[in-house]
Structure 1
């Protein structure tokens, strides 16, 4: 079971990154790995659906859908601390702390990928001991539940991954926390709200705890060699 959870986190990290040509080229190999794994039938089906979608969909279309979902919709941000700390100074310090955990495990981030990016977090979880991997999923179950709900509302094929991660966290989400977050972020993706957000003055971080500082300090991490961070 522990190996299955590690593999599950690794697969999720691969499929939740920005689609590129390599993910299409390695689709058959990934399909074989999924088929031979110890994942449940339902989990294999969910991963195969996203794998086939990425294989069959023209790359530009898959990339456009990804951007519309995760980059242009703040309520679906894959940056975990964005859902916890917003743009406050606390987010920068939390990322510095998480980066130290990655480095302690012998992992570094690639390019300008930030520590709280969910695929990076899942890559880290996949190389931890079984107990730590479980703890890492449990810690973010409420965020996973929120993202899962929003993706289900949009009938997105990506919702299957979040459903699996939520179930494997082995803890039920806090209904009050999830409901409050869904309520408070209901208008985040509204065009008028987005315009106001981008017109606001950026938050100023201390250099040591800023996202830019984190990014500048992070080099060489790919998790899997074929996955490259999006610029």
Structure 2
């Protein structure tokens, strides 16, 4: 994918994966306009398909679907480090490292927002393409696992995650295998040292 197109895909995906509140119709209109102007690619087609699938869904109904999809199953969580670290001490270190990276590039998260929340990571990748892409590549296994879980759930949101995966450089088989291993074994369950896993619904995405 063209380096010029990648940030636009990441920004579009960030908006589409954010909880559909009262601003959703505006966000969807913006995304559809931008995506229509992108060069033809797998990512562009996947984003268009998602937008078409939800275009006639009332915001309240889509919000209910969003909650059912992402808030009621940890296998479809939007927090990337959960797939690799689970509720362990190790996850705290991963979150601190991500937060430090954001701050290094002048990025501040909203209060109470975790730095591994996928819409926030995607917005960071759109605004700071080089370090943001590195974060997404680092968490490619989590993205693959999330994509598979959404496909199994038959959610149109699978297209948005797959669109992001298509923007990542290099072959995917090794990460795909890692995602399958996580799916079979499940994430770690140690809970010492971490607060309860928060819902993703109230967050709005990162802001500078």
| TM-score over 0.5 for the pair | yes
Maintained 8 Å contact 1:78/1:117: yes
Residue 217 of structure 1 aligns with which residue? none
Maintained 8 Å contact 2:11/2:123: yes
Question: Which has the higher mean CA deviation after the structures are superposed, 46-55 or 174-183?
Answer: 46-55
Q: What is the distance in 2 between the residues matched to 1:221 and 1:152?
A: 24
Q: What is the distance in 2 between the residues matched to 1:115 and 1:96?
A: 8
4+ residue runs over 3 A deviation: 52-55, 220-224
Residue 227 of structure 1 aligns with which residue? none
**Pair 1:127–1:53, CA change in 2 (3 A):** same
Residue 229 of structure 1 aligns with which residue? none
| TM-score in terms of structure 1 length | 0.75
190, 203, 212: which is aligned to 2:192? 203
Q: Using the TM superposition, give the Cα deviation of residue 3 of structure 1 relative to its aligned residue in structure 2, in angstroms.
A: 1.8
Q: Using the TM superposition, give the Cα deviation of residue 140 of structure 1 relative to its aligned residue in structure 2, in angstroms.
A: 1.6
Question: Which has the higher mean CA deviation after the structures are superposed, 29-38 or 67-76?
Answer: 29-38
Maintained 8 Å contact 2:14/2:118: yes
Residue 83 of structure 1 aligns with which residue? 83
Q: What is the distance in 2 between the residues matched to 1:182 and 1:127?
A: 31
Question: Which has the higher mean CA deviation after the structures are superposed, 19-28 or 118-127?
Answer: 19-28
Residue 33 of structure 1 aligns with which residue? 34
| TM-score in terms of structure 2 length | 0.83
Q: Using the TM superposition, give the Cα deviation of residue 141 of structure 1 relative to its aligned residue in structure 2, in angstroms.
A: 1.5
CA deviation string 1:4-25 (max 9, x = no partner): 1111111111111111121213
1:1-231 equivalences under 5 Å are 1-38=2-39, 40-130=40-130, 132-170=131-169, 171-174=171-174, 175-185=176-186, 203-205=192-194, 222-223=206-207
In structure 1, stretches of 5+ residues that fail to align are 189-196, 213-219, 225-231
Does 1 or 2 have the higher relative contact order (CA < 8 Å, sep 6+)? 2
Maintained 8 Å contact 1:145/1:173: no
**Pair 1:173–1:161, CA change in 2 (3 A):** farther
**Pair 1:167–1:93, CA change in 2 (3 A):** same
RMSD, aligned α-carbons: 2.8
Maintained 8 Å contact 2:43/2:162: no
Question: Which has the higher mean CA deviation after the structures are superposed, 166-175 or 151-160?
Answer: 166-175
Q: What is the distance in 2 between the residues matched to 1:43 and 1:166?
A: 8
Question: Which has the higher mean CA deviation after the structures are superposed, 4-13 or 25-34?
Answer: 25-34
Q: Using the TM superposition, give the Cα deviation of residue 211 of structure 1 relative to its aligned residue in structure 2, in angstroms.
A: 8.7
Determine which structure has more spread, i.e. the larger CA radius of gyration. 1
Q: What is the distance in 2 between the residues matched to 1:51 and 1:162?
A: 13
Maintained 8 Å contact 1:19/1:54: no
Maintained 8 Å contact 2:80/2:143: no
Q: What is the distance in 1 between the residues matched to 2:153 and 2:124?
A: 29
Q: Using the TM superposition, give the Cα deviation of residue 161 of structure 1 relative to its aligned residue in structure 2, in angstroms.
A: 1.4
